[in-house]
Amino acid sequence: MRRLKRKVLNAERALFQKVKKSVLGLHYALGITRALPPVSCQIEITTVCNYNCVMCNRNFVDKGRKNRMMSVEEFRQVLSHLPRSIRHIFFMGQMGDAFCHPGFYEMLDHASDRGYQISIATNGERLTRERTERLAKYNLWRLHVSLDSIDEETYSTIRGGSIAKIIENLRFFKDRNPNTSLFLAMVLMKDNVGGMDRFLDTAKGLKADLIILQMMIPFSSEIWAEQSLYNDAGALRSMAKVVKRHREGSGLSFGRGGGSDNWSFQPSNGLCESAFSIPQIMVNGDVVPCCMVSNAEEEFTAGVPFRINPGNYVVGNVITHPLMAVWNNRKIKQIRKEIIKAHRFYRRVDGGCPVKGIEGFAEIKRGVPGQSGFDYCKVCALRWQVGG
């Protein structure tokens, strides 16, 4: 019965994705800034993490964003303010891990009692056998796990934990939760790119449903200089060959940001959907249109610092107000307008504008005056396939 329900939900979700893509296309084609009620949202319940990854934005954010917890009562208030259109909740892990929250299972109970489909992002270290057994009753939709390396020494250098323990946890989880989709992510940088082949072999062995290969987002000039693969043409060519071989030979599926045969630095043809269909609810209840604008004060893609000014992107608070009271307010519609304008500009770039590549992007970033308001939407790293 559970397997049949899963098939029905998968078919329903596939149909919804097609409809959502069509609606999103209309937003961009016609400049429509009023969005339909969302069916999915992401909630950050904590910024506490048991790891301290070298590239993580935790190292570069305002101290007020670190080590915070949304209370269970605040979470219940958030749920009460969500529209009936919401079907899916993703416990995101921008700076924290949901399993670090002492009230996590109580929150899962509240979400499950309301009938939401549930997905969780985690580093996997706390996904013990006991916790996996407790998760079984929630019939999770997806589990997103960032691994970054299968080599013990490299993993320890980047994340500070043991990859052997994580792999053991994931094998047990997959055995106990065969109907939960497993998404595995690898943040690509110089320290770990040599292990991509082994990472993909391991992903196949774990029966991963989707692979997400993400270029590292640099939150400091040092990280860009020391770890960015866009400075190494040879590494980019090797990555493309490895991905092509695994995609064709192992049957692995790659999500956006992975599976590319061309890792060159260029604007994406994809459409930014977060601000139009997936509200991001931060640990204090603030609603923002995109995870990037809450991650750090500055971002250094192409070696050029850019002030993000996260507070400028807060469009409301869902602990104190219903989500639909802010989902189409004047501020978020202005943000959507800027996103559409940026997309149209980058399509012009693809069409032959001489401003291309890393140097061209650096020139664009330097040319944005003031770096205030919603200016980051003009130079978002995700638009240039960094991090996405």
What is the pLDDT, as a whole number, of residue 1? Answer: 56
Work out the number of other CB atoms within 10 angstroms of the CB of residue 217: 23
d(CA 32, CA 337): 8
Other Cβ atoms less than 10 A from the Cβ of 216: the count is 25
Tens place of pLDDT per residue across the chain (388 aa):
556 655 665 666 666 667 777 888 888 889 999 999 999 999 999 999 999 899 988 888 777 778 899 999 999 999 999 999 999 999 998 889 999 999 999 999 999 999 999 999 999 999 999 999 999 889 799 999 999 999 999 999 999 889 999 999 999 999 999 999 999 999 999 999 999 999 999 999 999 999 999 899 999 999 999 999 988 888 888 998 898 889 888 788 888 655 555 677 777 767 888 999 999 999 999 999 988 887 778 899 999 999 888 889 999 999 999 999 999 999 999 999 999 998 888 776 656 555 678 888 898 889 887 667 888 988 888 877 776 5
Please indicate, yes or no, if residue 6 is contained in any of the structural domains.
Answer: no
Q: Is residue 278 part of a domain?
A: yes
Helices (H) and strands (E) in the chain, counts: 12, 11
**For residue 388, what pLDDT is reported?**
57
Please state the three-class secondary structure of 248-287 as a single string: HHCCCCECCCCCCCCCCCCCCCCCCCHHHHCCEECCCCEE
**Residue 348: inside a domain:** yes
Task: Render 18-31 in DSSP notation, one character per residue.
Answer: HHHHHHHHHHHHHT
Q: Other C-beta atoms within 10 Å of 210: how many?
A: 19
Angle made by CA atoms 121, 123, 127, in degrees to the nearest 5: 90
Going by C-alpha positions, the residue among 80, 289, 54 that lies closest to residue 187 is 54
Cβ distance 252 to 211 under 8 Å? Answer: yes
CATH code, 232? 3.20.20.70
pLDDT at res. 370: 64
Does 17 fall in a domain?
A: no
Residue 305 pLDDT:
93
CA 126 to chain CA centroid, Å, is 20
- Give me the pLDDT at residue 149, please: 95
Tokens of 4: 């049949």
pLDDT score of 153 = 96
Domain count, the chain: 1
163 lies in some domain: yes
Range of the domain at 253: 38-384
Q: Residue 83 in contact with residue 322, Cβ under 8 Å?
A: yes
**Has residue 140 been placed in a domain?**
yes
**CA neighbours closer than 13 Å in the CB half-sphere of residue 202:** 21
Q: Is residue 361 part of a domain?
A: yes
Nearest by Cα to 267 from 165, 369, 344, 375: 344
φ and ψ at 154, to 5 degrees?
A: -65, -45
pLDDT of residue 150: 96
Gap between the Cα atoms of 328 and 78, Å rounded = 18
Residue type, 363: E
At position 345, the amino acid (one-letter code) is: F
DSSP E strand stretches across the chain: 40-43, 88-91, 117-122, 142-146, 181-188, 210-215, 280-281, 286-288, 298-299, 306-307, 316-317
Over its C-alpha atoms, the chain yields an Rg (Å, rounded) of: 20
Q: Judge whether 264 lies within some domain.
A: yes
| Integer Cα distance of 351 and 349 in angstroms | 5
